[in-house]
Amino acid sequence: MDNLKIGNYIQNLRKAQKLTQKELADKLNISFQAVSKWETGESLPDTGILLDLCEILNTSVDKLLNGGAIVARDRRMMRVANVVEGFEHLEAVGKCFGENCTFFTGMIEGINTKMNIDILEYLRDPNTRRFMYVEVIIQWILDGKTVDLDEVEDLFHDQRMVDMVKRYLDKTDGTEQQ
């Protein structure tokens, strides 16, 4: 990565939005000095604010980190049916091995601890199950992958969930153009 090229790109986008360094910093809850350091190439934006920065500057993370260059991507496509199947397989482990099997209970305890939830309870309820699907899809998108929005709409039939996925696709510039 070329810090100076990225800094120049940030500065050009900021000015195009008619924002001062302080105004941009205030929107991101950071100091104007941090913005100045980005623009001089002294440092790069923290990963925790990249999506918000890109939304404010109306660009994608890929484009920002490449100093404005359009990057040819080979984004892997996630099939929504695979998400559903993955959760079904998770449940099938309990059926195949028995829900009291140490392997199954260890797996479930690990998920519950890592995610601070009761995964089996979430999977039993159709509404929370769909939220689990959305969570996996969003994690996939944040990992640089993409998903066909038509498949998401077919699965959820709930515009709020579709909009949530779409928002992440838009922020990461991961929409599939067909």
pLDDT in tens, the chain (178 residues): 789 999 999 999 999 999 999 999 999 999 999 999 999 999 999 888 999 999 999 888 888 988 887 655 556 888 899 999 999 999 999 999 999 999 999 999 999 998 899 999 999 999 899 989 999 999 888 888 888 888 999 888 889 889 999 988 888 764 443 3
Residues of the chain with CATH 1.10.260.40: 3-65
Q: Which residues contact 107 (CB under 8 A, 6 or more apart)?
A: 90, 93
From the list 82, 84, 78, 77, the residue with the least C-alpha distance to 130 is: 84
91: exposed, middle or buried (Cβ count in 10 Å: 0-12, 13-18, 19+): middle
pLDDT, position 143: 83
**The CATH number of domain 3-65, selected from 3.40.30.10, 1.20.1080.10, 1.10.260.40, 2.30.30.40:** 1.10.260.40
User: What pLDDT score does 178 carry?
Assistant: 34
